[in-house]
Structure 1
Amino acid sequence: MGELAGVLAAMLSSGLGGTAIGATRYLIGLTDPLTLGAFRFGIGVVLLLPVVLLRRERWPGARDWPAVAALGLLFFALFPLLFNASLIHTTAARGALALSTLPVLTMVIAALFGVEKLTRRKSTGVLIAMGGVALALVAGLANAPPGAWHGDLLMVAAALCMALYSVSARPLMARSGPVAFTCFAMGVGAVCLGAIAAWRGGFASVAHFGAAQWWALLYLGVFGGAVVFILWAYALERTTPTRVAISITVNPIMASLVGALLLHEPIGWNLVAGLLAVFLGIWIATTGGRTAVAQA
């Protein structure tokens, strides 16, 4: 039941993350990646801190502070910077497809670090899920702006940051509480992004925000900054990094469904077929016995 709960939490996290892509695309033209990341994770920390205190979770020990801080800079500073910057240069569809390389990157890194074995079944499931993403986004992939490959590479680099975090965070998280660990790491990233944004004068851009922009920013902070990463931490605590990472393929599918529901975009056969392929790939990769995980 623990493995299943972890996989379901990861899928819900990725689904909410798909809706956060829309908020990011909406706001990125009105501010800069540093300022947007500072607000997103600053709001996230403010919401996570009371949860940690109410749950009386154990904070990371002093000996783990350097490692947790490094992972915080990697995932909550460098990752959002690359993620937000990529969407300036490429389309949401191409960016989502580039981000869906996360399961492959995580699977390879986890195998290299000796965290979990590289199996044929898991590899097959990952490839099927990635194929489902490509199929679902096939229409949007053709409409690429000039130089879109720059954004694609930035998104792959962001996925690499996320893969390294997912593989490395689990043993550290086990020695503290998952929400406390996430709050600590997120706080480090938020402070770093906030300091640089303030130095560059980035916060001046939000002075002209209207109600719609502030609501989008609040949504990004609450769901994209707190809820998404609580669920991601919960998932990493209960199942393997690759089984968590493959759920990222739900992200672009959800983004497409939101576009269809809110923007009345047509739902084509490719989106339905892609959705089925994603769930088939996730089922294949997350069933068939427990994956061996190295003990921390």
Structure 2
Amino acid sequence: MGEIAGVLAALVSSGLGGTAIGATRYLIGLTDPLSLGAFRFGIGVVLLLPVALLRRERWPGARDWPAVAALGLLFFALFPVLFNASLIHTTAARGALALSTLPVLTMLIAALFGVERLTRRKSAGVSIAMGGVALALLAGLANAPEGAWRGDLLMVAAALCMALYSVSARPLMARSGPVAFTSIAMGVGAICLTAASAFRGGFASVANFGTVQWIAILYLGVFGGAVVFILWAYALERTTPTRVAVSITVNPIMAALVGALLLHEPIAWNLIVGLLAVFLGIWVATTEPSWPSGSAGSAARRG
């Protein structure tokens, strides 16, 4: 039941994350990647800290602080800059599809770190999923915004940050509470982004924000900054990094819907076919039978 709950939490997190991509795409033309990330995670950490305190969660120990800070800089500082910058160049749907390389990257990194075993079946799934992403991104270049490939590459780099975080954060979360861990990591990233944005004068753009823009900012902070990452941390605590990462395939669907409804972005055939290929590849890679309970390292190797 715990693993099912973790997968369901990851699915809801990814669905909300897809809507956050649409909101980011809407706002990115009005501000810059640094200030947008500062708002998203600044609001997020303000909401997460009271939750961690009310739950009386265990905080990361002193020996874990360097790793928590490093992961905070990786995921809550570098990731949002790459994520937001990518949406300057590409559409919400393409950006979300590029982000759906996360399960592939997570499987490879988990195998490299010895957390999960990369088998022939997983390798076949990786190949199918990567082929689907390539089809969706390359076949649609003629109808994509100029320079969309830059945004696609930036989003893949953001997915790499997320994969490294998902694999590396799990053992640290096991030694503390998921919300407490996420609060500290997010706080490190938010402070870094706020300082960098203030130095560059990025917050000046918010003077022109109207009611709709502030609603979008609040949505990003509450749902894209707090709720999404509470659910993601909850999921990582209960199931493997690869099974959590698989849920990201929900992301392009939500992003495409938001992009089509709010930004009038087209949903082309290659996006749909590519997304189906990603689903197939991830299904192939993650439906391998579990290792026998007596096998060495079986708990860590389940994909």
TM-score (norm 2): 0.87
What residue in structure 1 maps to residue 185 of structure 2?
Answer: 185
Which stretch has the larger CA shift, 20-29 or 146-155? 146-155
Is the Cα–Cα contact under 8 Å of residues 27 and 213 in structure 1 kept in the other structure?
A: yes
Aligned-partner Cα distance in 2 for 1:65–1:265: 43
What are the Cα deviations for residues 121-170 of structure 1, in whole angstroms up to 9, with x where unaligned?
Answer: 33444555556666777885542233332222211211111111111001
Aligned-partner Cα distance in 1 for 2:155–2:195: 24
What residue in structure 1 maps to residue 14 of structure 2?
Answer: 14
Is the Cα–Cα contact under 8 Å of residues 91 and 259 in structure 2 kept in the other structure?
A: no
What residue in structure 2 maps to residue 202 of structure 1?
Answer: 202
Which stretch has the larger CA shift, 191-200 or 140-149? 140-149
Pair 1:241-2:236 in alignment: no
Which stretch has the larger CA shift, 285-294 or 244-253? 285-294
Pair 1:289-2:289 in alignment: yes
Q: Give 5+ residue unaligned stretches, structure 1.
A: none
The aligned amino acid for 1:252 is P
Deviation at 1:48, TM superposition (A): 0.7
Is the Cα–Cα contact under 8 Å of residues 93 and 141 in structure 1 kept in the other structure?
A: no
Aligned-partner Cα distance in 2 for 1:192–1:42: 10
Aligned-partner Cα distance in 1 for 2:34–2:268: 36
**Residue correspondence of structure 1 range 100-139 to structure 2 within 5 A:** 100-128=100-128
Aligned-partner Cα distance in 1 for 2:30–2:289: 48
The aligned amino acid for 1:17 is G
Is the Cα–Cα contact under 8 Å of residues 250 and 278 in structure 1 kept in the other structure?
A: no
What are the Cα deviations for residues 253-278 of structure 1, in whole angstroms up to 9, with x where unaligned?
Answer: 22123345667878777777666655
Aligned-partner Cα distance in 2 for 1:130–1:242: 15
CA RMSD of aligned residues (A): 2.6
What residue in structure 1 maps to residue 221 of structure 2?
Answer: 221
Aligned-partner Cα distance in 2 for 1:208–1:264: 23
Which stretch has the larger CA shift, 258-267 or 15-24? 258-267
What are the Cα deviations for residues 14-62 of structure 1, in whole angstroms up to 9, with x where unaligned?
Answer: 1111100110011111111000000000010011111101111011011
Aligned-partner Cα distance in 2 for 1:172–1:274: 35
**Residue correspondence of structure 1 range 1-296 to structure 2 within 5 A:** 1-128=1-128, 141-260=141-260, 279-290=279-290, 292-294=298-300
Is the Cα–Cα contact under 8 Å of residues 247 and 282 in structure 1 kept in the other structure?
A: no
The aligned amino acid for 2:252 is P
Structure 1 159/80 Cα, relative in aligned 2: closer, same or farther at 3 Å?
same
Q: Give 5+ residue unaligned stretches, structure 2.
A: 292-297
What are the Cα deviations for residues 177-200 of structure 1, in whole angstroms up to 9, with x where unaligned?
Answer: 011111110000000000111111
Identity of aligned residues (%): 87
The aligned amino acid for 1:237 is E
Which stretch has the larger CA shift, 286-295 or 145-154? 286-295
